[in-house]
Structure 1
Amino acid sequence: MADVRLETALDPVAEIAAFNARYATSGGIVTFLGQVREGGGVEALELKHYGPMTLPGMTDLARITQLRWPLDGLLIVHRHGVMHPGDPIVLVAAAARHRRDAFAAADFAMDHLKSESWFWKREKTATGWRWIEPRPEDHEDLERWR
């Protein structure tokens, strides 16, 4: 089963504890937490999205991920709105009988969220707001799955 959500707030400790409890009999559970980086003069990060595309796109990504690996469960929670350094942005957790499937599924989902997501991202520094595009490395990471 996949649990896919788009939220304005995220409590990663509670989310991970609940996911682990649901899949206590899985052989491996992998979690990835992305957060707003500290440093570099970043004061805030804002993620905007287009509702009719975002959640359906994330749900389709979960479906594809589950078709590629035999998972017991998958969690994808992505925030939108304004966040500050240290705030969580995205949580992906995968539970599987075998750890390699869980690692690969979480990695695959994150590579797609990072490069093909349905979000527009901008950061605020002392000089104002600027839009952020995926880096070439993000696209290279995605290519390895094709």
Structure 2
Amino acid sequence: MRENEHGVYSEVMKEKTLMELTTTTERIVVHFFHKDFRRCDIMDKHLNELARTHFQTKFCKINVENAKFLVEKLKVQILPCVIAFINAIAVDRIVGFEELGNTDGFQTSLLEFRLGTSSVIKRRDNTITNVPKKKTIFGFAEEADFDDDV
């Protein structure tokens, strides 16, 4: 998989190359970015971290200035825009940071969880999907109950 650049977050320079990648790669996450957008740099940092741990998925980015046809075809209007493809079909889209807490300081694990919901990556056991358990006075663990009336 390393030969196919799995495990690294790479930039695709040509639109045609990206179209070939999305049609020949089983799982791929594509970040449409603009070099002057600070939030695109933030997304890059998180996707780079995820690429190093999720080898079954290819992670790449393309500058929107180099992908005018795809930007129009996929209706990319707000940046950053991350689109997940499985077997050449767009299965998920993350636009901006709204679904990531609407903050620049979101955790990589939140992005990992979000991408995991579409199965483009496999969730790890230590992500935010684990709900902390609390112990009873008898020492047994029970599921956390967030509906307690206090």
TM range (shorter): 0.3 to 0.5
Greater helix percent: which structure? Answer: 1
TM-score, length of structure 1 as denominator length = 0.34
Structure 2 length normalisation: TM-score?
0.33
**Greater RCO between the two (CA within 8 Å, min separation 6)?**
1
More strand by percentage: 1
Larger radius of gyration, structure 1 or 2?
A: 2
